[in-house]
């Protein structure tokens, strides 16, 4: 999912900025959601962190099917 879609789902640039205590211009400049705020942004957007940053977070559905987390 691209960053602009994630931000829209989370309520927009200003809503995300307020929720994670960042300036809106910081959010607007993201090419991808930083790992350190991915969990918070995922909650705002109604997504799993793995939907936003699969390179950092494992898909919980795959873990439920017996995959071992690294």
Asked if the model's pLDDT at residue 29 lies above 70, the reply is: yes
- Is 52 part of any domain? yes
CATH number reported for the structural domain that contains residue 13 in this entry? 1.10.260.40
- Is 70 part of any domain? no
Sign of CA dihedral 47, 51, 56, 61: positive
Question: What domain count does the chain have?
Answer: 1
Asked if the model's pLDDT at residue 42 lies above 80, the reply is: yes
pLDDT band at 67 (very low <50, low <70, confident <90, very high): low
pTM above 0.75, yes or no: yes
Buried b (16+ CB within 10 A) or exposed e, 17-40: bebbeeeeeebeebeebeeebbbb
Domain that holds residue 49: 3-64
């Amino acid at each position: 999912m691209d960053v602009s879609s994630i931000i829209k789902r989370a309520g927009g640039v200003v809503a995300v900025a307020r929720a994670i205590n960042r300036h809106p211009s910081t959010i607007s400049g993201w090419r991808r959601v930083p790992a350190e705020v991915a969990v918070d942004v995922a909650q705002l957007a109604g997504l799993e962190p793995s939907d936003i940053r699969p390179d950092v977070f494992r898909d919980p559905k795959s873990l439920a099917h017996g995959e071992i987390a690294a």
